[in-house]
Structure 1
Amino acid sequence: MRVLVVDHTAQEGGAESALLRVAQRIGEADLTVRALLFEDGPFRERLTSAGITTAILSLDSHTNRTSRDRVLSPVTALRTAAATLGFVPRLVRGIRGSQCDLVVANSLKSAVLVSLAAPLAGRRWVWHLHDRLARDYLPGPLVRLMRVLALAGPRRIVVNSEATRDTLPSRARRKAVIAYPGLPPEAFEVAEPDVHHPVVTVIGRISPTKGQREFLEAAAALAQTRPDVRFRIVGAALFAEQEYADALPALAERLGLDSSVIFTGWVSDPGAELRASTVLVHASPVPEPFGQVVAEAMAAGIPVVASDAGGVREMLVPDGGREDAPAPVRTTELGVLVRPGDASALATGITLVLQDPDAAAQRARAARAVAGARFGIDDTVAVIREAWLTAAPGHR
């Protein structure tokens, strides 16, 4: 069985990292994975270094880089439609030329294009859905379009959490399976940060949806009582979010954080930044589909303070309970959850961890055990392999 995985980007985001870990391990004597990207970049280099044959089929850069918030504006929509009409026949030829038995779309944009090209190429396809199809996460018209696509297009949908699955139309949920982004064995090595020099870190793409602004506001409140704490913002802006990223250093200066906040920019090894942290903060003001960095912190035994919504709540609330209106701050057996978008609550949550390191360490140990049971890469590969096999006729 030959599987062609398709992604519109060659940048290294959470969806791409999750795909790489699966692609490295899922190939056996009866299954071969190849990749097709719509641009060149670091992710292509990672795939080829892992021994995965990767081709580039260039899509118009404006269309490929347009953010989800602007893709349906009238001018952009017309340009995107024109680019799509010219690109789909090339994608059909690329799919046929790969001689694949199954196509896997790994992003929203690739899913739209694959939904058109795969049937024309005579192939079934699977959608790896990493985004919640909800209006608090995506523009309303895009949500409606993606929900229709989920119903009509893929043979199987692989989702990264219950929170993501619950945003699918009910009939589409019947063909959805949950495969948490699995972590490799080395992710479960226990981190040993310097507890005498506290470092509070937020890791991820610089974006309004990731909450770096709220993180800075919480840092300013915390710095008044804990001037010894250092704060690190790890990551860089992608797509159309550079303006937001450029405003953050000026905000840090206005908040008096010049000497206590470090902006690392893009780093090749975010895991090293994670393991040097006393506290890992997830500050997203909107519900995240999963929150991969939270899973990585849990696996490494690092205390977590995270937004109480979406897939993150699913990870840190052992019984899977949900609250429509969460308290500003609450502790669970596995971490500290705070109200999304509330910088004051975020500062309080971080303070709870720093003031009682013994309790924080106990929660972190429990979280590490849960991560080992739920987020291992072998379980993820098994679920995805089964989904691929059931989607491709004749390859059970």
Structure 2
Amino acid sequence: MSQKGKIIFLHSSSELYGASKILIYVIEIFRDLGYSPLLVLPGEGPFRVEVEKRGIEVAIVNLGILRRKYFNPFGILNRIRKFLKAYRYLNELHKKEPFTLVYSNTLAVIVGAIFAKRNKVAHIWHIHEMINSPKFLVRFLARQIDATEIRPIVVSESVAAHWSKLLSNVKPEVIHNGIDYTPFLNGTEGLFAKTGLPEDRKIVTMIGRINPGKGQLFFLKMAKEVIKEHPDALFLIVGDPYPGYEYLLEEIGAFIQDNALGKHVMDLGFRSDVPNLLKCSQVFVLPSVLPDSFPTVVLEAMAAAKPVVATKSGGAMEMLVEGETGFLIDIEDVNTGSEHISYLLSHAEKAKEMGLRGRERVLQEFSYGQFAQKMEKYICQILPEKNN
């Protein structure tokens, strides 16, 4: 064990999306400060591959992750059993090598907070979500957050405002996400061939897990309107479904077929070449229809110098400057959204100018350096005796 101690990181997904990418940076910051990390994931996936490339130890354990599909009597019983098994795993691990800290990434992981409190181990909750329903779950999670001794990290002012009204004992610490933007800064030479995308089309892209909140159908409704003015437009849907939401793929496919969008939409599923896809795009769209805390993909699109059209659904309102780096629209406002997308496709120079302003903003306001500095300061405040 390192001189400063063992840190256990618990994460809700083995996929490589926003919250997972941010966690990689967090783990590396702790490691650079002298701590020994162990990442516990609920299953195999590309996230494990990525972190092991960086020499980070990984264990696979079913953590009893909270998902909507389990909100029924049999599902709840299943989660209780998985929770108890995960709790026993943490207990055995702690006996062999006591933890300095348990770090729970996302509210879908509750076993770490409960284990840490019962065993008097320091605990950090890194909150990426704004959850409105079901009400019993929101109240339950708020009680768990309020019971922690260390103020939780939240990824945006929107997330802080959402949870603060439900808390009485702790005040969230806002630390905006920041990543290494290097892969998004280069040109597009040769990338169309690599990605398989056509170079003679106007490409509009959305990226996100397929679930009821990400707005894939809203995206397609806007696409249907945009192609009336831009028949050469191609709309990319990038991302795979959360377990339990596979039925949404059928709804997406049915909408494409019913509206004769087959020549105008490509459903690419999960892709590991997101930087290249963004560089080949003219416009990026975040069509979230439920609260979206601080979507990392918007930072990536801005770094790739793409204008962004996003819903007023949370963190995007802190990222974008209306009319300068993109446009903010109301949820499900198909007319305004399609008008903004069409405008950007019709005015290439203006779109380029907005994209470059977005890149400048993201590098100045949401850099990895700023994120790392704030995280290090936070860590040294909560574990001061380990950092002297």
1:120 to 114, 118, 121: 118
Within 5 A, what are the aligned runs for 1:344-363?
344-363=335-354
Scaled by the length of structure 2, what TM-score is found? 0.89
Question: Which structure 1 residue ranges, 4+ long, deviate > 4 Å from structure 2?
Answer: 170-174, 190-196
Give the match for residue 230 of structure 2: 226
Where structure 1 has 5 or more consecutive residues not aligned to the other structure, the ranges are 318-330
Q: Determine the C-alpha separation between the residues in 1 that align with 2:222 and 2:261.
A: 11
Residues in 2 aligned to 1:20 and 1:229: alpha-carbon distance in whole angstroms: 35
CA–CA distance in 1 between the matches of 2:265 and 2:69? Answer: 32
**How far apart, CA to CA, are the structure 1 residues paired with 2:382 and 2:162?**
22
CA distance in 2, matches of 1:258, 1:188: 29
Give the CA deviation at 1:98.
4.4
Matched position secondary structure for 1:352: helix
1:152 Cα shift? 0.7
CA contact (8 A) 1:187 1:299 kept: no
**Residues 137-193 of structure 1: CA distance to partner in whole angstroms, max 9, x if unpaired?**
x42221111111111125131111111111123556854222222110414515559
Confirm or deny: 8 A CA contact 1:187 1:296 kept in the other structure: no
TM-score when normalising by structure 1: 0.87
Whether 2:216 is the aligned partner of 1:212: answer yes
Name the structure 2 match of 1:167.
Answer: 162
Matched with 2:146 is: 151
- Report what 1:394 is aligned to: 385
Paired residue secondary structure (1:87): helix
What secondary structure does 1:306 align onto?
Answer: strand
CA distance in structure 2 between the aligned counterparts of 1:372 and 1:293, rounded to whole angstroms: 14
* Amino acid across the alignment from 1:5: F
Conserved in 2, the CA contact under 8 Å of 1:128 and 1:159? Answer: yes
C-alpha offsets along residues 217-265 of structure 1, whole Å, 9 cap, x if unaligned? 1111111221111111111112211001122122111111111111111
Q: Equivalent residue for 2:195? A: none
Aligned residue for 2:96? 97
Q: What are the equivalent positions in structure 2 for 1:281-360 lying under 5 Å apart?
A: 281-317=285-321, 331-360=322-351
The answer for unaligned runs of 5 or more in structure 2 is 193-198
1:72 Cα deviation after fit: 3.4
Alpha-carbon distance in 2 for matches of 1:121, 1:71: 27
In the TM superposition, what are the counterparts of 1:1-396 in structure 2 within 5 Å?
A: 1-2=4-5, 3-28=7-32, 30-59=34-63, 63-64=64-65, 67=67, 69-110=68-109, 112-133=110-131, 135=132, 138-170=133-165, 171=167, 175-187=171-183, 189-192=185-188, 197-317=201-321, 331-392=322-383, 394-396=385-387
Deviation of the 1:196 alpha carbon: 5.8
% identical equivalent positions: 26
Indicate conservation of the 8 Å contact 2:41/2:61, yes or no: yes
Q: Which moved more, 1:250-259 or 1:29-38?
A: 29-38
The alignment covers a number of residue pairs equal to: 374
User: Displacement, 1:27?
Assistant: 2.3
Deviations 1:271-301, CA, capped at 9 Å, x for gaps: 2211211111111112210121111111121
Are the aligned partners of 1:231 and 1:260 in contact in 2 as well (CA < 8 Å)? Answer: yes
1:150 touches 1:168 (CA, 8 Å); kept in 2?
no
Query: Structure 1 CA distance, aligned partners of 2:336 and 2:207?
Result: 19
Q: 1:199 to 1:185 in 2, by over 3 A?
A: closer
